[in-house]
Amino acid sequence: MTATQIAIVIVVVAAIAIAILFVAQRQRSRQLREHFGDEYERAVREYGDRSKAESELAARQKRVERLKIRPLDERERSRYAEQWKTTQARFVDDPSRTIAEADRLVGEVMKAKGYPMADFDQRTADISVDHPAVVDHYRTAHEIAERHRSRPVGTEELRKAFIHYRELFRELLNGGAPPAGERAERGERSERAEERTGRDDRGSERTDRAERTQQAETQQAQRTQQRERVGRDGDRVGDERAHEDHTEVRR
């Protein structure tokens, strides 16, 4: 093989390697974007570079893979759901305490699932891997809670914080579904709504049938009147012609 041929082979191999690397990078970017969603875009804005952001997100995934994250069993889910229900009931009387308890409960559930209770930034990074859709709820709730510790905020802000904590709590507990008691309550409301909808639909059908019947009767009456007018007009024309013929005969 000549030196020229060797050079050509090297160029071709290098081009193929570059093409494979490019495709692999694009595939990696697509997978990270699809998995992390809004968290992907947030990381890009935070690091100011797509490559650095993707490296950070990939590092998060590798870290969480080494952790022993486990799902909660049914007994644990029931216990935490009941504690959350009790906490939520206190909000009207003591919103400040409720927010503190919500933060504590979220931390307990995370710890029970196997997440290390490191500093807040590390906790959010870990959570973002398995729960990217709700990690921003955690950030927002924590930010409001921190502001409230240094300078009390209004009840409306505390309510928003509690809602954000609740979204994260549900995701950690049930994968985003509401707790069992709330699911049952929502199911009853849904059944009642469906029953009302069914009654409304049946009433609407009866109304439609009545309207169609009335419309058909009106159209029939109009056609009858039209035929009567045509008949009267025809009789009148016949009488006029007969009169004209009689007059003509007399002449």
pLDDT digits (tens, 9 = 90+) for 20-63: 665 666 787 899 999 999 999 999 999 999 999 999 999 999 99
98 and 32 in a single domain? The answer is: no
Decide which of 177, 200, 228 is a domain's last residue: 177
- What band does 124 get if pLDDT is binned at 50, 70 and 90? very high
Average pLDDT over residues 131-148: 95
Give how many domains the chain has, as a whole number. 3
142 and 196 in a single domain? The answer is: no
Question: ∠ CA 41-120-158 to the nearest 5 degrees?
Answer: 90
Return mean pLDDT, the chain: 79
Specify the higher pLDDT residue, 9 or 109: 109
84 and 155 in a single domain? The answer is: yes
> Quick one: which of 113, 115, 126, 132 has its CA closest to 176?
132
145 and 227 in a single domain? The answer is: no
212 and 172 in a single domain? The answer is: no
Indicate if the alpha-carbon torsion angle 100, 101, 106, 109 is positive or negative: positive
- What band does 14 get if pLDDT is binned at 50, 70 and 90? confident
87 and 146 in a single domain? The answer is: yes
When computed from its CA atoms, the radius of gyration of the chain, rounded to whole angstroms, is 38
- What band does 230 get if pLDDT is binned at 50, 70 and 90? very low
Kindly state the tokens that stand for 42.
Answer: 């947030």
The count of C-alpha atoms lying within 13 angstroms of the C-alpha of 67, restricted to the half-sphere facing its C-beta, is: 23
Is residue 232 scored above 80 in pLDDT? no
Can you give the residue range of the structural domain that contains 239? 185-251
Looking at beta carbons, which pairs linking 50-56 to residues 24 or more positions away fall under 8 Å?
54/28, 54/29
Q: Is 127 left (phi over 0), alpha (psi -120 to 50) or beta?
A: alpha
Residue type (1 letter), 26: R
- 130 and 69 Cβ atoms separated by less than 8 Å: yes
Q: How many whole angstroms separate alpha carbon 117 and alpha carbon 126? A: 10
- 106 and 170 Cβ atoms separated by less than 8 Å: no
pTM metric for this prediction: 0.63
229 and 201 in a single domain? The answer is: yes
Largest CA distance in the chain: 130
